[in-house]
Copies of this chain bind each other. A is one copy, B any other.
């Protein structure tokens, strides 16, 4: 692949630079290092995951900085913040915000696997509702909870159910 198309990370870095400049915020090395880590991942990670990853990457930052930077990145659209109410009430999970179309999530209530999907009808609903309710819709969060068909997950769940029945 030629370099004529800038990588996602490069685009993100430029966008962050622009945002910091516009807001009069400082371009600290921590902010760019964290951005890099975020854009090297393809999963839905929480703040602690990111904190640990930065330490393994031998760019140790404090948790405070992780939280602070994530807020900046969310604010400029480079990171998306999700509140999945499945396993853990309190924990937020993040994902990169560039280079992916709007999507929704499917979460297995047993193994907590997260699957992404897109459906154009969601956009239609958004438009209709905004219009009907006189509401400026800016973003959405659609999550379906259910049971996935992964072999190991199903097996484990069946075993657990059998256990529960014996009570």
Query: A residues near B, CB below 8 A?
Result: 81-85, 89-90, 92, 106, 108-109, 115, 117, 119, 121-122, 124-126, 128-130, 132-149
User: Do residues A129 and B144 form an inter-chain contact, with CB atoms below 8 A?
Assistant: yes
- In this complex, what residue of B is CB-closest to A150? B134
Tell me the minimal C-beta distance from A76 to chain B in angstroms.
16
Q: What secondary structure prevails in chain A residues at the interface with B?
A: mixed
Contacts A85-B83, A115-B133; is A139 near B144 (CB within 8 Å)? yes
- For this chain, the copies found in one complex come to 2
- In this complex, what residue of B is CB-closest to A125? B119
CA distance A143 to B85 in the complex (A): 12
Task: Identify A132's interface contact among B108, B117, B148, CB under 8 A.
Answer: B117
CA distance A46 to B143 in the complex (A): 21
User: Do residues B89 and A92 form an inter-chain contact, with CB atoms below 8 A?
Assistant: yes
User: Do residues A140 and B141 form an inter-chain contact, with CB atoms below 8 A?
Assistant: no
- In this complex, what residue of B is CB-closest to A109? B138
Extra contacts, 4 of them, besides A121-B121, A141-B141 (Cβ < 8 A), are: A115-B133, A134-B148, A137-B144, A141-B143
In the complex, chain B residues whose CB is within 8 Å of the CB of A81: 85
